[in-house]
């Protein structure tokens, strides 16, 4: 099943996702870090939300005065997000967009970018475009948050890589969802993102996810970065 069909089915009948509108805790911490540690004002800042879902994080940045562009693959998720726009005065523009294809944005137009559990679903061809587009549309000195799947010390990830390997390096296929995901070692994450960014912090966190009534312990990377 193609990835976009998997996400569409997931938003229509969630097994892994939540339709909670509360912004991600990692996004809230990133925003506070920008203002306190990096002295970045979000008022009128341009923010790109890669994989914006139903708009929980986009709305959070818009409430702080930012102008937000949200890219999302699922039409169902976009419809939910846009319905909220119709009900409120917002500074958000949503577009149906694969984040592994060329972005409809001008060069060096983005101040802040967030990628929360989105690029780990890209294949290597798409990921090459993803990095090229980040290099093109982010301003010099722009800040980025990435939250993605961590391979290091994750028993469930290593089990999935063994029993359900995907077609590319460090990928597995979740048969219940028809979704292929990439997990990252610290070494590989650093090597890839350091081509474009200075990694200011890279933290490994642990959370539990629910799938088909079972709870799984998973590790994640949370990176705060600044474009070179």
- Write down the residue that tokens 């028993």 correspond to: 155
* pLDDT per residue as tens digits for the range 6-17: 767 766 676 666
The pTM score is: 0.93
Which residues fall within 8 angstroms of residue 180, CB to CB, at 6 or more apart? 3, 121, 123, 166, 167, 171, 172, 173, 174
Task: Report residues of the chain scoring pLDDT below 70.
Answer: 1-4, 7, 10-12, 14-20, 87-89, 211-213
* pLDDT per residue as tens digits for the range 149-196: 999 999 999 999 999 999 999 999 988 777 899 999 999 999 999 999
């Amino acid at each position: 099943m193609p990835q976009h069909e998997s996400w569409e089915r997931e938003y229509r009948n969630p097994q892994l996702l939540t339709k909670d509108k509360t912004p991600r805790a990692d996004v809230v911490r990133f925003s506070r870090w920008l203002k306190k540690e990096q002295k970045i004002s979000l008022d009128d800042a341009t923010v790109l939300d890669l994989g914006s879902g139903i708009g929980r994080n986009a709305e959070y940045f818009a409430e702080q005065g930012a102008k937000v562009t949200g890219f999302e693959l699922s039409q169902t998720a976009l419809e939910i997000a846009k319905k909220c726009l119709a009900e409120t005065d917002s500074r958000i523009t949503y577009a149906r967009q694969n984040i592994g294809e060329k972005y409809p944005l001008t060069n060096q137009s983005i101040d802040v970018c967030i990628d929360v559990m989105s690029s780990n679903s890209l294949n290597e061809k798409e990921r090459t475009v993803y990095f090229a587009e980040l290099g093109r549309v982010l301003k010099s000195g722009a800040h980025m948050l990435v939250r993605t799947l961590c391979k290091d010390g994750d028993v469930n990830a290593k089990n999935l890589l063994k029993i359900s390997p995907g077609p590319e390096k460090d990928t597995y296929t979740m048969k219940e969802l028809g979704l292929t995901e990439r997990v990252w070692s610290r070494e590989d994450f650093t090597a890839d993102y350091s081509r474009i960014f200075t990694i200011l912090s890279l933290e490994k966190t642990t959370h539990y996810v629910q799938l088909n009534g079972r709870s799984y312990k998973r590790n994640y990377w949370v990176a705060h970065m600044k474009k070179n």
